[in-house]
Amino acid sequence: MSWAVVFGLLAALLLLLLLTRRRTREAFLSTENLTPCPTLFILFPASPNGDKCCGFCRRPGEPPLDLGSIPWLGYALEFGKDAASFLTRMKEKHGDIFTVLVGGRYVTVLLDPHSYDMVVWEPRTRLDFHAYAVFLMERIFDVQLPHYSPSDEKSKMKPTLLHKELQALTEAMYTNLHTVLLGDTTEAGSGWHEMGLLEFSYSFLLRAGYLTLYGVEAPPHTQESQAQDRSHSADIFHTFRQLDLLLPKLARGSLSVGDKDQVCRVKGRLWKLLSPARLATRAHRSKWLESYLLHLEEMGVSEEMQARALVLQLWATQGNVGPAAFWLLLFLLKNPEALAAVRGELEPILLRVEQPISQMTTLPQKVLDSMPVLDSVLSESLRLTAAPFITREVVVDLALPMADGREFTLRCGDRLLLFPFLSPQKDPEIYTDPEVFKYNRFLNPDGSEKKDFYKDGKRLKNYSMPWGAGHNQCLGRGYAISSIKQFVFLVLTRFDLELISPDVEMPEFDLSRYGFGLMQPEHDVPVRYRIRP
């Protein structure tokens, strides 16, 4: 490299440094240590109007501003390394609302759950999720839809996940869980089988979920077609899982050359497996799938792009269910009192059923709805492990009213971020011993569901938010909850399941998963299982 180039780079860096330091005396400067790590470009993509970091100053009425110590990058490295720890430090330093510089973007973080409704119900003309959704589709899944409108899509898909359609999905899910969970285990022979608990939960739930939404082999429910369903769904899962493991790197744009080649191969394989032509031959396709394909056709989407969109939907509908079941089962296995309480709840249910559990072809919704202990266990597990980022693009300069009467100004082009994992879900004022799993935390003394939680002496509306909130709350949460409960029901009533090492510690989180939904463990936990004699 020539000296002229070196001096040119140094001059450019000095100019950038001077420009980013132009702020009022009210801005904060942090000199905390930094460790290299990919930045979270998936969460804070470049503004369509260009970066505004040069000359950004805190104006009167805006939240506290913390630029970090690195020009342009700001806190991107720390955010990418461990978002929860970083935001916890920022909250201790600045309070429950503040603005940080992250990779050229100004991100206002709101951590007051009393004020979340001010954000999640704000109209798109002021706070918008659309740009982020489009970026997610294009960056990770190579999906480009003409005239895409998340609100239109939601209004068309919502009826397919409610009422009688939800009941149909629930019944099909129970049948398909039988096919893959009991069928695979029977094929493998009697006795104990060993597997990682995450793989056990993730694989069986995703495979059954795929068969439920995308259809089964025709003609359905024969021994031959069910064997093909098990083989085909296993191929779907193992291929999908390769993409899922690379998802954080793909989102951040930090793939190695080898990773990029693998992603291309895996995506190509999934696009073939989920092509509309292949799916057209399948039986018992869900009303959800039929409506979604019709929606894509009405937009004029090509079959190639439809296949890509269906891969995106496979991740959106199945990517969090398996990890959620993993944590729930692990908490039960590590807490004998909780496991005994859930089993004690299931026993009278089995006594009321008129046929042996091995002959049950469906688990009625009224039965699923009469499991308050399991509901509490699920809610507590999600409280401890669900860590999505709720983000909005600030479309116009606006005033954000807080629940305590304060008001802060937000700038057009900035990003607003809520992180319910920290508050309310891990807030010690709301939950006693918030890091501890308590299976009955969401139960009243009379056994009914507990919904009354308080902060600052006021009852909380949003006391746990694993499914998002407001306009972008998860449409399929009812189906997801039913699927998890059916899976746990089958595992606990039809199987013996135990940890290979009873004293194994709970695994740490894979920190790269913050923001994507359910956290995944750094490593799997070995278990063994068998069908009960």
DSSP-assigned letters across all residues of 440-469: TTTB-TTSSBP---EETTEE-S-S--TT--
pLDDT of amino acid 45: 55
Per-residue pLDDT tens for 499-521? 999 999 999 999 999 999 999 99
pLDDT of amino acid 40: 44
Phi, psi of 255 (to 5 degrees): -70, 140
Picking from 119, 122, 117, the residue whose alpha carbon sits closest to that of residue 460 is 117
pLDDT of amino acid 403: 97
Mean pLDDT of 141-161: 92
pLDDT of amino acid 135: 82
d(CA 477, CA 452): 21
**What residue has token string 């319910």?**
420
Which residues make Cβ contacts (< 8 Å) with residue 256, sequence separation at least 6? none
Per-residue pLDDT tens for 46-68? 444 444 444 467 889 999 999 99
pLDDT of amino acid 56: 63
Percent of the chain with pLDDT over 70: 89
Per-residue pLDDT tens for 20-56? 333 333 333 332 332 233 334 445 554 444 444 444 6
d(CA 32, CA 53): 20
Q: How many other β-carbons are positioned within 10 Å of the β-carbon of residue 57?
A: 12
Q: What is the chain's percent helix, strand, coil content, to nearest 5?
A: 50, 10, 40
DSSP state for residue 401 in the 8-state scheme: E
Q: How many helices and strands (H and E) does the chain possess?
A: 19, 13
pTM of the model as a whole: 0.90
Per-residue pLDDT tens for 358-389? 788 888 888 899 999 999 999 999 999 999 99
Per-residue pLDDT tens for 436-489? 999 999 999 999 999 999 999 999 999 999 999 998 899 999 999 999 999 999
pLDDT of amino acid 44: 53
pLDDT of amino acid 366: 87
pLDDT value at 176 more than 70: yes
pLDDT value at 397 more than 90: yes
Per-residue pLDDT tens for 254-288? 999 999 999 999 999 999 999 999 999 999 999 99
Mean pLDDT of the chain: 90
pLDDT of amino acid 4: 45
SS3 sequence of 355-403: CCHHHCCCCCHHHHCCCHHHHHHHHHHHHHHECECEEEEECCCEEEECC
